[in-house]
Chains A and B, each alone.
Chain A
């Protein structure tokens, strides 16, 4: 197909579908990587649609989806983190489900962790896997069953409170909900955290012995960690996001924040407020802008629901900006992303959905490789690499620097940058001037640099300087300490919550009146497909995933050198392997009611018994019978969202493993 034909077809379909079903039928799917930057594929597609009637918006992300919605109920914001150099002042660091050695979590982080260790900080890693982070940094590894983190958190809270190790003055001054004297009006005293921990209402005292039976961390160990964390001041409890990609991920994020508040580690240098833990103090101007006339938005994880039952979605499903959608999704742009098939939950279900031509009528994909998602395109556009276009690279997602993306070669063969493609499409649809505003991508970079210098940072280099430097580091005199302003002067700097305080008890959550799944305080909720689900008689192993060091999500899965570095394989404990007659290096079949895949097995003591792990991001590679032969975990994951955020629960799975 020629570019002319492709452009004509896309223009005609975008127009037809917009007119036939309305602009809410058009959707630009979630993507990261190349879709970030000043003008990446996602932005180009959105601007074109915005200029021709609009598109259905999405909110949130697949990384920290549950946390992004939950943490603001506690702190009023997701920026609950501190810059990582603050860890040089920490005496005790708990990395709870966090693995910066493998998934990096900002480039300088490991360096600061190393220095913190040198400074004498004790580092505890709580994780079902003995991660590469545990190998290099941990003084101690605490293995725990997935989805049971809040049981351990509750028991830690119990120990801290009953042994009088909590910071009562901090809780009194800054927090809502710790005890009966600090609850919102109209809420009974038994609803406080203290009352919950002591079991005053439900009769269940949240002792370490109670938690041990659920999470498998020995009671004495829970006591020891609770005491050490409460006594070492300042102490940093840093939460990874894996444990919030679970059925009740919201509880994990609010639970960590609750412990940070119980011990008064918020707003203090070397402490850490926990929660989602974003922080940001450096930014650039994004000059490529657009205004979508459609205000309706869905949680990004529910796009398959919006394809199937969009018009039936309600506020309960996280629909915002409208009471009702006028149409299901009919047209999808999937730009430089693999969320269409590979990275979204329940691949088999999604395939059925996308194969049904009566549902989504037109799919456009742009990519460098024939990914599993690209195979579902009606029109597949050959995109460009970073070397073939101008842009500014911003680090994911912490780190005080930006990178000048200089174009080193023209696009090879017939490949074209999305900006260029969508500008031509805009021409076909009569909005070219509005799309480009007369600017090239190099103009956009230049404008961003000039405006950043003028509007945000006078020290920012000029365009020519930046181009020569390649990388610009924002400089700061002192570490950023999350919530320092609020803790130093609450009167003038209230938290951005309804009460102006830290809401360990959230009246807003309470008023939702779904206390079993959306409690007002963080608490352990037994998870579907967790260790207490009766389904574990049929599928007795909990399956988790992790970000593999040899990939960035699904990018580089097709790289043979990196397959040699870190093979795609499932981890299983020797005890579980022995029961099933499985030896290291075997091919095994992993299955549940959603699907089945074949994968090589690594038998290793680096994972807790009862749990298996598949590194996420392997490309879905079905054989003729449709059985994945690569180990693409989303064959096994569920589309059931978390209750509050409607986020992805992709680490909540029960499976069985047998020799293939």
Chain B
């Protein structure tokens, strides 16, 4: 199997959310349902000096994430009706909409918030890696949309060779839970403290 994965150059992410919107467009998703999400993080304080100047230590970053098509996905195991499967050839995890019963157990099981429940049709669905586009030789829409060219995709082994092994940043669940197929170049403020 050639496992596919995403590479996120988070150090370049401006938080424009074009990836998220193009994904909604492609998958025709309502407000509230986002197969790709852009999270923001911000912290820091301000101190006014006796001389009246203001010093600060503000840190902030954005992070774009969809489904990591994990090596050990929690969602597949959680589904009581077997609607979620991991493709034998490319490792892409999909939810069969014909089979899904809308139990939302996958929504609860996934540490990344990838499966999204649709209240209108009583089913959950998630990123399918735009596999239909890939079969036509095209890129996933989030990849082709990013104006910073900060999202790439491909065999995870190659991405790791090229960009390293970081798959967890500040605020993200432990990568030992599901072994996500994602490689990240972290923003300067998002690096895990070793």
Residues on A with C-beta less than 8 A from B32 are: 564
- List residues 602-627 of chain A with CB under 8 A from any CB of chain B: 604-606, 608-609
How far is B147's CA from A219's CA once the two chains are assembled, in angstroms?
38
Indicate whether B121 reaches chain A with its CB closer than 8 angstroms: no
Indicate whether A130 reaches chain B with its CB closer than 8 angstroms: yes
Judge whether B17 and A209 touch: CB under 8 Å. no
Judge whether A218 and B46 touch: CB under 8 Å. no
Residues on A with C-beta less than 8 A from B17 are: 549-550, 565-566
Judge whether A218 and B60 touch: CB under 8 Å. no
Indicate whether B68 reaches chain A with its CB closer than 8 angstroms: no
Indicate whether B172 reaches chain A with its CB closer than 8 angstroms: no
Judge whether B21 and A561 touch: CB under 8 Å. yes
Judge whether B42 and A606 touch: CB under 8 Å. yes
- List residues 406-423 of chain A with CB under 8 A from any CB of chain B: none
> Per-residue 0/1 for B46-64: is the Cβ within 8 Å of any A Cβ (1 yes, 0 no)?
1011011111101011100
Given A130-B58, A216-B52: A562 and B21 within 8 A (CB)?
Answer: yes
- List residues 1-39 of chain B with CB under 8 A from any CB of chain A: 11-17, 20-21, 24, 31-32, 34
How far is B15's CA from A565's CA once the two chains are assembled, in angstroms?
10
Indicate whether A493 reaches chain B with its CB closer than 8 angstroms: no
Given A564-B31, A605-B43, A608-B46: A209 and B56 within 8 A (CB)?
Answer: no
Judge whether A609 and B14 touch: CB under 8 Å. no
> Per-residue 0/1 for A109-125: is the Cβ within 8 Å of any B Cβ (1 yes, 0 no)?
01000100000000000
Closest Cβ neighbor of B62 among chain A residues: A135
A606 is contacted by which of B21, B51, B58, B148 (Cβ under 8 Å)?
Answer: B58
Min CB–CB distance A501 → chain B (angstroms): 37
B13 is contacted by which of A136, A550, A573, A609 (Cβ under 8 Å)?
Answer: A136
> Per-residue 0/1 for A128-169: is the Cβ within 8 Å of any B Cβ (1 yes, 0 no)?
001011111000010100000000000000000000000000
Given A110-B147, A136-B12, A561-B21: A219 and B54 within 8 A (CB)?
Answer: no
How far is B44's CA from A609's CA once the two chains are assembled, in angstroms?
12
Min CB–CB distance B186 → chain A (angstroms): 13
Min CB–CB distance B32 → chain A (angstroms): 7
B53 is contacted by which of A114, A219, A575 (Cβ under 8 Å)?
Answer: A219
Residues on B with C-beta less than 8 A from A562 are: 21
> Per-residue 0/1 for A567-603: is the Cβ within 8 Å of any B Cβ (1 yes, 0 no)?
0000001010000000000000000000000000000
Judge whether A605 and B44 touch: CB under 8 Å. yes
Indicate whether B45 reaches chain A with its CB closer than 8 angstroms: yes
Min CB–CB distance B163 → chain A (angstroms): 15
- List residues 45-102 of chain A with CB under 8 A from any CB of chain B: 101-102
How far is B45's CA from A606's CA once the two chains are assembled, in angstroms?
10
Residues on A with C-beta less than 8 A from B34 are: 564
Closest Cβ neighbor of A220 among chain B residues: B53
In this complex, the member of A110, A135, A217, A564 whose beta carbon has the largest number of chain B beta carbons within 10 angstroms is A135
Judge whether A136 and B24 touch: CB under 8 Å. no
Closest Cβ neighbor of A560 among chain B residues: B31
Judge whether A549 and B16 touch: CB under 8 Å. yes
A218 is contacted by which of B16, B51, B187 (Cβ under 8 Å)?
Answer: B51
Residues on B with C-beta less than 8 A from A135 are: 13-15, 60-62, 187
Closest Cβ neighbor of A218 among chain B residues: B53
Judge whether A561 and B12 touch: CB under 8 Å. no
Judge whether B54 and A609 touch: CB under 8 Å. yes
How far is B13's CA from A203's CA once the two chains are assembled, in angstroms?
48
Given A136-B14, A565-B21, A606-B42: A217 and B53 within 8 A (CB)?
Answer: yes
Residues on A with C-beta less than 8 A from B21 are: 561-562, 565
Judge whether B16 and A101 touch: CB under 8 Å. yes
Min CB–CB distance A45 → chain B (angstroms): 34
Closest Cβ neighbor of B188 among chain A residues: A139
Closest Cβ neighbor of A134 among chain B residues: B60
Judge whether A604 and B42 touch: CB under 8 Å. yes
How far is B55's CA from A218's CA once the two chains are assembled, in angstroms?
7
Indicate whether A213 reaches chain B with its CB closer than 8 angstroms: yes
How far is B148's CA from A136's CA once the two chains are assembled, in angstroms?
10
B46 is contacted by which of A134, A209, A609 (Cβ under 8 Å)?
Answer: A609
Judge whether A216 and B16 touch: CB under 8 Å. no
Given A135-B60, A136-B12: A110 and B54 within 8 A (CB)?
Answer: no
> Per-residue 0/1 for A301-336: is the Cβ within 8 Å of any B Cβ (1 yes, 0 no)?
000000000000000000000000000000000000
Residues on A with C-beta less than 8 A from B16 are: 101-102, 132, 549
Indicate whether A221 reaches chain B with its CB closer than 8 angstroms: yes
Min CB–CB distance A72 → chain B (angstroms): 33
Judge whether A141 and B62 touch: CB under 8 Å. no
How far is B53's CA from A212's CA once the two chains are assembled, in angstroms?
6
Given A136-B148, A562-B21: A605 and B14 within 8 A (CB)?
Answer: no
Residues on A with C-beta less than 8 A from B48 are: 216, 609
Given A561-B24, A606-B58: A218 and B49 within 8 A (CB)?
Answer: yes
Closest Cβ neighbor of B149 among chain A residues: A111
Min CB–CB distance B169 → chain A (angstroms): 14
How far is B148's CA from A190's CA once the two chains are assembled, in angstroms?
50
Min CB–CB distance A425 → chain B (angstroms): 38
A143 is contacted by which of B15, B54, B147 (Cβ under 8 Å)?
Answer: B54
In this complex, the member of A134, A216, A219, A566 whose beta carbon has the largest number of chain B beta carbons within 10 angstroms is A216
Min CB–CB distance A152 → chain B (angstroms): 11
How far is B45's CA from A549's CA once the two chains are assembled, in angstroms?
25
Closest Cβ neighbor of B56 among chain A residues: A143
Judge whether A141 and B58 touch: CB under 8 Å. yes
How far is B61's CA from A565's CA once the two chains are assembled, in angstroms?
16
- List residues 531-569 of chain A with CB under 8 A from any CB of chain B: 549-550, 560-566
Judge whether B54 and A216 touch: CB under 8 Å. yes
Residues on B with C-beta less than 8 A from A141 are: 56, 58
Judge whether B44 and A212 touch: CB under 8 Å. no
Closest Cβ neighbor of B54 among chain A residues: A216
How far is B16's CA from A633's CA once the two chains are assembled, in angstroms?
22
Given A114-B148, A132-B16, A573-B46: A216 and B53 within 8 A (CB)?
Answer: yes
How far is B24's CA from A563's CA once the two chains are assembled, in angstroms?
13
How far is B42's CA from A212's CA once the two chains are assembled, in angstroms?
26
How far is B46's CA from A604's CA once the two chains are assembled, in angstroms?
11
Residues on B with C-beta less than 8 A from A132 are: 14-16, 62
How far is B52's CA from A218's CA once the two chains are assembled, in angstroms?
8
A605 is contacted by which of B45, B148, B187 (Cβ under 8 Å)?
Answer: B45
Residues on B with C-beta less than 8 A from A573 are: 46
Judge whether B31 and A561 touch: CB under 8 Å. yes
Judge whether B147 and A209 touch: CB under 8 Å. no
Min CB–CB distance A158 → chain B (angstroms): 16
Min CB–CB distance A478 → chain B (angstroms): 25
> Per-residue 0/1 for B143-160: is the Cβ within 8 Å of any A Cβ (1 yes, 0 no)?
000011000000000000
Given A130-B60, A561-B24, A566-B17: A608 and B31 within 8 A (CB)?
Answer: no
Residues on B with C-beta less than 8 A from A102 are: 14, 16
Min CB–CB distance B67 → chain A (angstroms): 19
Residues on B with C-beta less than 8 A from A134 are: 60
Closest Cβ neighbor of B53 among chain A residues: A218
Residues on A with C-beta less than 8 A from B45 are: 605
Question: Can you spell out 8 A-B residue pairs with CB atoms less than 8 angstroms apart?
Answer: A134-B60, A212-B51, A217-B53, A549-B17, A605-B46, A605-B58, A608-B54, A609-B48
- List 4 additional contacts besides A561-B24, A575-B46; criterion CB under 8 Å: A136-B12, A136-B15, A563-B31, A605-B60
Q: Which 7 A-B pairs have the closest CB atoms?
A: A218-B53, A101-B14, A136-B14, A605-B44, A212-B53, A565-B17, A216-B54
